[in-house]
Amino acid sequence: MSPMARGFKVVAVGGGTGLESLLRGLKNYLGRDGSRRGPAYLESLTSIVTVADDGGKGGKLIDEFGILPPGDIRGSLAALSDEEDLISKLFRLRLTGGGELGGHSFGNLFLTALIQLNKGKFLKAIKDASRVLRVEGVILPATIDHVILCAELENGTILMGEPEITNADHSPIKRVFFSKRENKGSESEPEPYNARALREAINAISNSDAIVIGPGGLYTSVIPNLLVKGISRAISNSRARKIYVANIMNQAGRTEGFSLSDHIRKIMEYGGFRLDYVLVNRKRIPQSIMREYESEGSSQLLFDPDKSDISSILRFSNGDHITLVEGTIIVEANLAKEVEEEDIRKVDGREEVEKKVVIRHDPDILADTLMDIFAAI
């Protein structure tokens, strides 16, 4: 690495598989002796994770043991672990069989056991897991309040919990908000709740040089972090560069029909801050794969000048240009990657594992592009 290389303190904010891809790529730049070389390296990497995912088998663990949702924390642990490939496979492994443990992921059970071992102390469990797995970087929940994600639809209906929100068969989303988890199952309309931000997360944001928001589901992985007012306020007050990595696909029932401008406006609406850069995929998805996504109501999100409110285009003498949308610099790159993953489906009442090809962000290209942006700051 060049002796003039600059170190950056980076905070990643999000959840789900998008955050995992981001962390897998960025961890290669940690430390001056990282495996990747260039004009910049990461002095520190902190993952701030949503704890609003209460779906699937993880939801049953939440209800039975009274813990915070473990799924997104599990993903960050696997992505930043020393033995990433093995730990990722192990943590994603779902137990087969028709018993009570059938369908549960090993990673969620591992975290649940550590939480019990630490008498319910969620942060201590994450630190212990990080030590056991030799995690590179720091993993923090945005809040340790027990909340449930709610969505008010355009037709006035209120949905409670991520499983209901991710169901494509509903009216468009008008707004999302948190309610206390204890309100789940109540027949009365849920009251909005202001979750308290974790102090360590606020400090990490305040001391950072760059904040990367996303990729991930806009309403279920990204915005839930911004609903924690202490988090969005800290991002707004920070002098760090703010970078949004847009999802590769629009999601049925949530961001269906959204342009890139729509995504940017939602981030600004819920976060209360302006983005410096937006990184978006420009690689077309093969039609054979797109057919599967389209059958589920999803579409590819690309930067389309005709559908985005271009603020201005800065042109240079060498022919290069910078496009600004909503006052934000747009960076396009070939970020999409085909990945084979295991999925759970029910057959005759039993859960079976099937393999399918999905589209994810390429961890290496995503990280390389972000490091180029950091170096230009």
Enumerate the domain spans of the chain.
6-144+196-308+335-376, 146-194
Q: What contacts 137, CB < 8 A, 6 or more positions away? A: 23, 27, 30, 44, 45, 46, 47, 80
Q: pTM of the full predicted structure?
A: 0.90
Whether the CB-CB separation of 247 and 18 falls below 8 Å is answered with yes
pLDDT digits (tens), the chain, 377 positions: 555 788 999 999 999 999 999 999 999 999 876 556 678 899 999 999 999 876 555 556 676 677 888 889 989 999 998 876 777 777 776 666 655 655 667 888 888 889 999 988 999 999 999 998 899 999 999 999 999 999 999 999 999 998 899 887 788 999 999 999 875 655 568 999 999 999 999 999 999 999 999 999 999 999 999 999 999 999 999 999 999 999 999 998 899 989 999 999 999 999 999 999 999 999 999 999 999 999 988 999 988 877 766 665 555 455 555 677 777 889 989 999 999 877 666 666 666 667 889 999 999 999 999 999 998 88
Place of tokens 């990280």: 367
Per-residue model confidence (pLDDT) at position 65:
72
- Alpha helices (H) along 162-228: 162-165, 199-206, 223-226
Per-residue model confidence (pLDDT) at position 310:
67
What are the CA-CA distances from residue 14 to residues 114, 218, 264 (Å)? 23, 9, 15
Per-residue model confidence (pLDDT) at position 364:
96
Phi-psi region of 198 (alpha: psi -120 to 50; beta: other; left: phi over 0): beta
Per-residue model confidence (pLDDT) at position 222:
98
Per-residue model confidence (pLDDT) at position 59:
58
Phi/psi for 6 (5° steps) reads -100, 140
Instruction: Give the CATH number of domain 6-144+196-308+335-376; options: 3.30.390.30, 3.30.70.260, 1.20.1090.10, 3.40.50.10680.
Output: 3.40.50.10680
Per-residue model confidence (pLDDT) at position 321:
56
Per-residue model confidence (pLDDT) at position 183:
57
Greatest Cα-to-Cα distance within the chain, rounded to the nearest angstrom? 67
Per-residue model confidence (pLDDT) at position 89:
75
Q: Identity (one letter) of the amino acid at 213?
A: I
Per-residue model confidence (pLDDT) at position 44:
97
Q: Which one-letter DSSP state was computed for residue 368?
A: H
Per-residue model confidence (pLDDT) at position 313:
58
Q: Identity (one letter) of the amino acid at 166?
A: T
Helix, strand or coil for residue 153?
Answer: strand
Whether the CB-CB separation of 2 and 341 falls below 8 Å is answered with no
Whether the CB-CB separation of 361 and 336 falls below 8 Å is answered with yes
Q: How many Cα neighbours within 13 Å face the side chain of 217?
A: 21
- Give me the torsion for CA of 258, 259, 262, 268, rounded to 10°: 130
Helix axes 16-26, 363-376, angle to 10 degrees: 70
Per-residue model confidence (pLDDT) at position 335:
96
Q: How far is CA 350 from the centre of its chain?
A: 30
User: Which of 32, 54, 52 lies closest to 43, judged by CA?
Assistant: 32
Place of tokens 């022919």: 319
First to last CA, the chain: 18
